[in-house]
Each structure stands twice: as C-alpha cells, then as structure tokens.
C-alpha cells in the first residue's frame, strides 16, 4: 500500500489496522510526520514516534510487540486503540 492509498482510505473513514506487518513500511514513512523520528530511529533510541518520549515499558506482550512494529509507546497505544 502506498501512502497515497493509505491517505485515501483515511479520508474515506476506513479503519487502518496498524498491527498489520504489511503496513510497516508505510508506518516508517508516516512516522516522520509525528515526532520527526523515523520508526527505526525511534526503536533504536527506545522512543515513541507519536510523542517523541522514551517509552516507559509495556503492560503486556502484545503491547510490546506493537511497539516493535510501529514504535508507538504504551501511552500512545492506549490513546489509539482503546477509544
């Protein structure tokens, strides 16, 4: 999926599954728009691409796995997935 396609889906109100491994490359590119870090830069530094802060650990294994895919910390994951 290209970023253009992703943006179209978002505009159309479609739900994007961030857990999807196929989206990793897109997440990498999109990540720059949040904290100014790429996903791999954030992972290396133990930081979050959404808020730019160091992550404070994870509640459970799925949350940690999500971080390894998207580089999004527990706090930001809670904001995204539990609404």
Integer Cα distance of 67 and 70 in angstroms: 5
Dihedral sign from CA coordinates of 38, 43, 44, 49: positive
The answer to whether residue 76 forms part of the interface with Zn ion (CB under 5 A) is: yes
Give the DSSP letter of residue 77. Answer: H
The answer to whether residue 37 forms part of the interface with Zn ion (CB under 5 A) is: no
Contacts (CB under 5 A) with Zn ion, residues 41-70: 48, 50-51
Q: Which is nearer to Zn ion, 37 or 76 (CB)?
A: 76
Q: Which is nearer to Zn ion, 9 or 32 (CB)?
A: 32
The tokens for 14 are: 């479609």
Would you tell me which residues interact with Zn ion (CB under 5 A)? 48, 50-51, 73, 76
């Amino acid at each position: 999926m290209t970023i253009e396609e992703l943006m179209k889906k978002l505009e159309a109100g479609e739900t994007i599954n961030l857990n999807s491994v196929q989206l990793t490359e897109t997440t990498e590119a999109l990540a720059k728009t949040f904290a100014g870090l790429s996903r791999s830069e954030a992972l290396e530094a133990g930081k979050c691409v959404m808020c730019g802060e160091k992550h404070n650990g994870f509640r459970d294994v799925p949350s940690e796995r999500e971080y390894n895919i998207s580089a999004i910390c527990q706090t930001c994951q809670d904001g995204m997935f539990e609404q």
